[in-house]
Each structure stands twice: as structure tokens, then as C-alpha cells.
Structure 1
Amino acid sequence: MNKNSILLIDPNFEPANSSNLNLLIKIGVDTFSYSIADEEKELIHAVYDEQECEDGVEKFKERLKTDAYLKLPYQSVKAAIYTPNLVFVPKALFDKQQIKLYTQFFVDTDLQNIYVQSSEQKEFVYIFGISSATDKLLTTNWENVTLLPYDAGLLENAPATDDSNVIIDFTVGSFQLLYFKGKQLNFAQNYQFDGIDELTYYFLLIISQLGIHTKQTSLKVCGIIHKGDDQWNLLAQHFNRIDFLVVPTPFDTNILDDMPAHYYTSLLALQQCG
């Protein structure tokens, strides 16, 4: 472990039973995390999280060599990976014969590894691409891996109670922002920032460009943010309704009792993705 990582383990966890368990993986721009979940017993056995990585994929590659828990066989594996090559297509307009029509909007238009996932809760299809090296890294280690876009957990569990709402998932040095308007996804983007001044710049730019009426829009936050810190105070200056996003789960999360409940919202929410 290093000063930027944490590993929480259920003392009764038996690695020999891993073939009955689920592995959830999140690979961000600057973070890497995973969780081991027991669906039958509705129990979270382990959570590993590392912040401030220079490269999330490289950190994942490094952990694969040294982390014994990642070498275990699992019943199922779900991996959410950050990629700028992602588009959302309304299900009513999606044509599986026209994938190239959608991938022309990718940042990297020459990717060979293209994935299509239908959202279970929202009326759209995810189409995303990842590098051949990352694809090989995941599919070689786990034949049964399901690949998902980075923010799939949040999107599948986003509350739809307000006509307009924003969800922000923070790491130490980046944030993923989702904006819903008319209860439909209107915007999704990841930003890296260095300090509160840069965060303020991005935040005000987003509000301005999207025309977000902050006083009438609810805000849910999760990840590495605390009430009263610089990030929270910045957001509270603009939003009247701000709260932590904690997705209800039937799983026993006793190993997280000493941690803020919203820290691992987006990671644990992957359990509910298809």
C-alpha cells in the first residue's frame, strides 16, 4: 500500500470461495479501485481504492502483477473504464447495423475494440471504444468480464425525482459530471483539475455553457468530497439543494462503516449494472 491507497477487507473473507463472488472494477483517469461482492450473502468482502494515480490503466496493470485478490477466479467481473470515446444513442434511434455512424464522433476514430451496452434504466445505448492494449489486459485475465463505460454505475442509479439535476463524482484531482434536464441525460464529461481555482473555472464554465439554472436544480455529490471543504463550499455558493449521493443497496457494507458512505457510491453501484 502507499499513502494514496486503502484496502478494506472483511476478516471472514475466504479467497478460496472467490468463484462464487463478483469482482467490480473502476479504472479512471487518475484512480483505480475494485470491490469484491457476494451476491448470495449480500455482502461486500473487500474494497480497494487508490487516488492520485498518474494513469489509471497503468496503475491497474501494476496491481494485476502484485495484488493476489485480482488473481483469483470470479463468478463475474464488471469493469467500468474511463474513455473519451463514448456516445449515448436513444434506444428508439439505435441501429446496430450502423455502428460506424456513431463512432465517427469518437476522439479516436480508428479504435478496433468497440462495445455496445444497452442501459437497463435509461432510454439509451452506450457505444464506447477502448484501446486494444486495455481490452487485452481485461479480457485475457477474465474471460467473463463485462466492460462498461466509466459512469455506468451513476447513470443506472441516478435519481429521477427532479426535472433538472446534476450529479458530480469527485476523485482527489478530477470529477465526473452528469447533467439531467427534463429527466433525460443532457451532458456527461470528465475533468481533471489542480486546486480550487481550476475547479472553479471549470464549474462556472459548465454552468454558463449549459445554461444550468442552479437555484432550480438539485445537486448530488459523491466520491472524495466533504461538507465544508473547498469543493463543497464552491458548489454551495451556487446550488440551493446539495446533498450526498448514496445509492441504496441490499448489501452489507460493514467494512465501510468507518468511511463516509458516499466515497464508493459509483464503484458499488456497478453491482446493479447489467
Structure 2
Amino acid sequence: MDELVFVDSTFDTNKTKEYTLSIQLGLDGFSFSIVNKLKKCIALNRFISFQKSSDNQPLASFTEIVRNNKILNLDFEEILLQWISNKQLIIPSDFFSEDFAYESFQLSHSLAENESLLWNEISELNAWLVFSMPNDIKEFVHSHFSACQLFHHSFPFYRKALSQKPAEVHPPVYVNIQNNFFHVIIPDRNGKHFINTFSYTADSDLAYYILNIYKQQKLNNERSKLIVDGFIQKDSKVILLLKKYLGQVELKTLPLEYQVNNQITPKEYNQFINLLNLSKCE
């Protein structure tokens, strides 16, 4: 349990059948949280990086870590996993079908032979979120975690943003930042939401894309609040740069009661927000 950065006093390994295990997994590593029936986080595990010595290393690393982790071998009431990737697509429900999903996805992204498509329904959008996942990782997850539900990591991000009361005049801009890409959604009270994903290589690129979104969507730089979460810190260059041009920049952070390990940076804590929201959104 050395990797646990937060453990509530009520956490009991003998009662895990009453808990929900949520896992956040990507090709570079994973983390997990445990919540009770009241949707209260009672355990939080720090991000564990994978070794990168070969193409199959993510699966090998994940398999070894999971099999040697006592907590991840306990029985849980529910197990949820969100896959981190920039390969995703939203299709309106009126057009959705398995064939259309495969056809549309491959117009925007490459689908490798060792990947398959999955999809999550976003009822607030009346749409389906389609994403790809490596078959070997998916097969291990299903074999080790019985009845595990799979989601794309943007699923709780979009649903959380859409659950907020729509703005009458100046809509907020929600941004979830990952390594080398970010998701953005601007909820619209008339249902005409702006949703997109952008790749970036430097802080200046990230700031440029966000400011260009404000310009293209004709948003008021002083009135439309930018709300950011993910792999970001409040003193990062991109946040300081954006504050020069935008009147309201809010960095979402994990509640202080969960930040109990001083060796974990705020950047790591911020990435847990979607993980904790997953159990509340599914």
C-alpha cells in the first residue's frame, strides 16, 4: 500500500464488496481510486509509470503490477476503467450503428489490427463516444477484473461539464489537459455544444489553441471563464500566459482532504479529478 496517497479511516479491505474500484489507464501508466456506497473516495493510488523497453511493455507492466497488488486482487461491488487516449469520436445517436462507428472512426483516426472499438452513451448529448483500445490490454482487464465496465477518459469530463447550469450569455470553456493533447467543451443552453480534441507539443501551442477557440467562437475574453483540469499546475507557463489574455482562469484541483502526501505534486493530484468523477457519472 506504499503507493496509496490517501486512505480514509473507514477503508476496510474486508468490505471491498461494498466499494467501487475506478482505474485510470493509458499506455504510460495508471492510477486508481476506491469509493464507498455514498460515492465518497476512501482510497486513492498515485500514478504508476510503465517501463518503455518494448512495444508490449504497457501490458507486461500493467499485468505484473496488478497481479502483485493486494488491493487490486480483492472483490469489489463494481469495477470501472477509463482508457486515456486522443483517439475518440462523438456520433449523434440518430446516426449511430456499429458499422457507421467503424467507418466514421477510421476517417479521423488509424485503427490498428490489434485494436478494437468501444463506445459509451452520453445521454446529455444524445450521442455516443467512440474510442479504440488495444485488444491485449482489454482482454487482460476483462479476464482479471470480472464484469469491468470500460469508458473513455473524456466521458466523465464531458458529462461533468454538461451537468452544470448552462450560462445565459457568456458560456464557460472547459478544458481537460493530457500529455500532448487536450479536450475542450463549451456547453450551450440551446444544445449546440462545441466539442473538440487538439494535439500540442509546447505550452505556446496549447495557449494558442485555447485563445483561438475564444476567437473563433466569438467568446468574451473577460466574461467567459476558462476552467482547466488534468496534467496542469497553477504556476505552469501556459496558465500564466493564458491569464494575460483571459479575465477568468480557474484551475480545478482535487479537494485538499485528499492531498495527504507532500511528495505528490499538484500536477499528479489534478489528474485524479476525472478518475473520481467516473464513479459519479457512470
Q: TM-score range by the shorter chain?
A: 0.7 to 0.9
Residue 40 (structure 2) aligned to one of 20, 43, 49: 43
Report deviation, 1:257.
Answer: 5.2
Partner of 1:250: none
1:21 is matched by which residue type in structure 2? Y
Alpha-carbon spacing, 1:107–1:165, altered in 2? closer, same or farther (3 Å): farther
Residue 131 (structure 1) aligned to one of 134, 141, 159: 134
Partner of 1:80: 82
Q: How far apart, in 1, do the equivalents of 2:181 and 2:4 lie?
A: 20
Contact 1:10–1:255 (8 Å) recurs in 2: no
Q: How far apart, in 1, do the equivalents of 2:241 and 2:247 lie?
A: 12
Partner of 1:222: 229
Residue 154 (structure 1) aligned to one of 152, 157, 171: 157
**RMSD, matched Cα:** 3.3
Partner of 2:176: 169
Partner of 1:108: 111
Residue 179 (structure 1) aligned to one of 180, 185, 188: 185
1:50 is matched by which residue type in structure 2? F
1:244 is matched by which residue type in structure 2? L
Match status 1:92 vs 2:94 = yes
Contact 2:121–2:127 (8 Å) recurs in 1: yes
Structure 2 unaligned spans of 5+:
none
**Which residues in structure 2 correspond to 1:259-270 (within 5 Å)?**
264-270=272-278
Report deviation, 1:160.
Answer: 5.1
TM-score, reference length from structure 1 = 0.78
1:236 is matched by which residue type in structure 2? K
TM-score, reference length from structure 2 = 0.76
2:105 is matched by which residue type in structure 1? T
1:204 is matched by which residue type in structure 2? Y
Alpha-carbon spacing, 1:134–1:174, altered in 2? closer, same or farther (3 Å): same
What is the total number of aligned residue pairs between the two structures? 261
Helix, strand or coil at the partner of 1:121: helix
Structure 1 unaligned spans of 5+:
248-252
